[in-house]
Amino acid sequence: MDLNYTQDEVAFRDEVRAFLKDKLPKELSDKIAANKMLTKEDYDLWHARLNDQGYLAGAWPKEFGGAEWTAVQKHIFEEECARAHAPRIVPFGVAMLAPVLQAFGSKEQQDYYLPRILSGEDWWCQGYSEPGAGSDLASLKTKAVREGDHYIVNGQKTWTTLGQYANKIFCLVRTSSEGKPQEGISFLLIDMDTPGIEVRPIILIDGVHEVNEVWFTDVKVPVENLVGEENKGWTYAKYLLTHERTGIAGVGFSQEGLQSLKRVARQEMQNGRPLIEDPLFAARLARIEIDLMAMATTNLRVVAAADAGKAPGAESSMLKVKGSIIRQQINDLARRAIGPWAQPFVSEQLSDNLFHPGPDYAAKATNVYLNNRKISIYGGSNEVQRGIITKAILGL
């Protein structure tokens, strides 16, 4: 048992820190710290800086130009980025599509798409969920019918994150209705410029435009855009979902959130004393910090096991459930901390004027609380994750 990073890992961490200190523009980290929405240009700029450093493909295998980071290195990178208020890497191309192409794509697809993901030429979004297929993703209905050299795609996808910026979408589509629902699904790459595609914004409860509906009407997709084999798409999608996901617990975000919560609780006054000295609030804060310390170690245990060659399966589900709850509890405390300043509700799409009348630290706390209710819903809701734990770990 040794709770410390190895010398090499510490050296890697220092290298990442130095990079962030040097290359992360203050305007960007200020925006993240203030929970402001980033523009496409912001994302593009950070994407390019990470790519120049070789960090974008850090987790990719060497044969595809990656650095083949260990799970611990990935964890360190994510933790340091969260701590420094760096933008998250938009995961759809780099972390979601790329591993699928590397494992199941044709040589042509790998040669064409992977460099474009790194260069930022392509911005990918994800076409999985449908209005009728959420937790039960395999019941999806968007249809692709083969006609000569093309598939004709009809249907609707939803919750397409940042789809408004994307020029490509990878989709799960139904190519057969025979057998089990999982057996008739294919994995298709689609150009967003193709006639018949319409993107409609969905405004969320905190008033931001972050997700979209994507509608397909007789969209012609060349057959060479099929990944792997027809009707094997579910296997590829599952590979993506069970592909080692160290970031799923969001420990870095929680640690950063706890620090910023403490800063607020030191400034906010209650009965002439800082809120952080209020016994009730201090106890709430302490409990969540205790949970987070255990969560960080739970996360590292799974990360270390991954490096020892034990691919995490259902353990990811444990990390997701507990990690999302802790993160949401921190968001909840941040909302409580600002007290009556939670009452003015200023949001991007619902207000004419974005000025919040309270202290700067109060401007987004309620919005973040509301917005992050999503993290126990998306990517397989916590109910779905508990179902996986019940079956795969507990054998019930």
Partner 1 sequence: MDFNHTEERRMLADSLRRSLERGADWAALAELGVLGALFTEDEGGFGGHGFDIAVVFEELGRAGSAEPVLEAGLAGGLLADAGRADLVEEIIGGGLKVTLAHFEPGLRYDSGPITTSANEGHLSGRKSFVTQAEGSDRLLVSALKDGEVELFLVDTAAEGVTLHTTPALMGGTISEVTLDRVAGEAVGNAHTLQQRLAAATLAVCADALGAMDVARDMTLDYLRTRKQFGVPIGKFQALQHRMADVAIEIEMARSAVINAAGHLDAAGPTRDRHISAAKNLIGRTARLVAEEAVQMHGGIAMTEEYALAPVTRRLIAADHRFGDEDWHLARFMRLEA
- The residue type found at 264 is V
- In contact, 116 and 94? CB cutoff 8 Å: no
* Segment contacting partner 1 by CB under 8 A, of 117-125, 290-298, 299-307, 348-356: 348-356
Which among 313, 307, 322 is positioned nearest to 5, based on CA atoms? 307
Counting contacts by CB under 8 A, is residue 366 touching partner 1? yes
Using alpha carbons, list the distances in angstroms from residue 277 to 94, 218, 239, 330. 44, 62, 48, 17
| Binding residue for partner 1, selected from 65, 343, 360, 391, defined by CB under 8 A | 343
- The DSSP letter of residue 245 is -
Q: Which of residues 195-234 bind partner 1 (CB under 8 A)?
A: 202-205, 207
Which among 246, 330, 337, 261 is positioned nearest to 292, based on CA atoms? 330
What whole-number distance in Å separates Cα of residue 311 and Cα of residue 315?
9
With a CB cutoff of 8 Å and minimum separation 6, the contacts of 207 are 347, 348, 349, 350, 351, 367
| Binding residue for partner 1, selected from 134, 233, 250, 380, defined by CB under 8 A | 134
Our measurement of the distance from residue 83's CA atom to the centroid of its chain's CA atoms, rounded to an integer in Å, reads: 17
Q: Which of residues 183-202 bind partner 1 (CB under 8 A)?
A: 202
| Binding residue for partner 1, selected from 172, 240, 276, 346, defined by CB under 8 A | 346
Q: Is 244 a catalytic residue?
A: yes
Q: Residue 298 or 382: which CB sits closer to partner 1?
A: 382
Q: Which of 130, 244, 256, 315 is catalytic?
A: 244
* Segment contacting partner 1 by CB under 8 A, of 3-11, 36-44, 235-243, 280-288: 280-288
Instruction: Tell me the sheet residues that pair with 159.
Output: none
What minimum distance in Å lies between the beta carbon of 369 and partner 1? Answer: 7
Q: Residue 317 or 347: which CB sits closer to partner 1?
A: 347
With a CB cutoff of 8 Å and minimum separation 6, the contacts of 198 are 214, 215, 217
Q: Residue 203 or 305: which CB sits closer to partner 1?
A: 203
What minimum distance in Å lies between the beta carbon of 362 and partner 1? Answer: 11
Q: Just list the catalytic residues.
A: 244
Judged by the rule CB under 8 A, the positions of this chain that interact with partner 1 are 129, 132, 134-136, 139, 158-159, 202-205, 207, 268-271, 275, 278, 280-281, 284, 332, 335-336, 339-340, 342-347, 349-351, 353, 355-358, 366, 369-370, 373-374, 376-378, 381-383, 386
